[in-house]
Structure 1
């Protein structure tokens, strides 16, 4: 009986999490409308840009990777900076010549990112 309750409540917990993300992420539409989308993990990484490393919050779902920056509003919200579909994504260890520890390169469509933990 306990096992049955746990497996039945997971979709509800996932749905609740998607609704929370929909509320807290600025620039994201229809995040909670896709019933087959599953939340996997969230975390903070440093994304390399022309200006240097910038802290970004990454949200991994079963079909997409979102990266955001904290908004300037007094309420804790994040502004979407990029949405990368997992279907076309390739993730590789960074080239040894770059010499950035704990970093990976992410390629998706016409975008590429270098991120470090």
Structure 2
């Protein structure tokens, strides 16, 4: 099982990857939205923002966050680490229910290029 620190590093790596992206991926990640990533097996949520093509983690809370983020992810820590490491395909994990992504419809359309 991935540790909290491994999950934090994975989100940092995801942020770095998005910041280096070009073209359609860069445009899709350029949203300014509140973001949460609930690590289900650790019952911990990273909260922050997706801004200027980067994931900014502001806080870590036990359980669900007090406020509902505009973009919400939920998955196990192992799946988070595997996805960011390139060992798990996001689209397949999302389609199989291993990863949950909730966002407004227009944001989902924009984010689809990240899949």
TM above 0.5:
no
Q: Which protein is richer in helix relative to its size?
A: 2
Larger Rg: 1
Tell me the TM-score normalized by structure 2.
Answer: 0.30
Greater relative CO (CA pairs within 8 A, separation 6+): 2
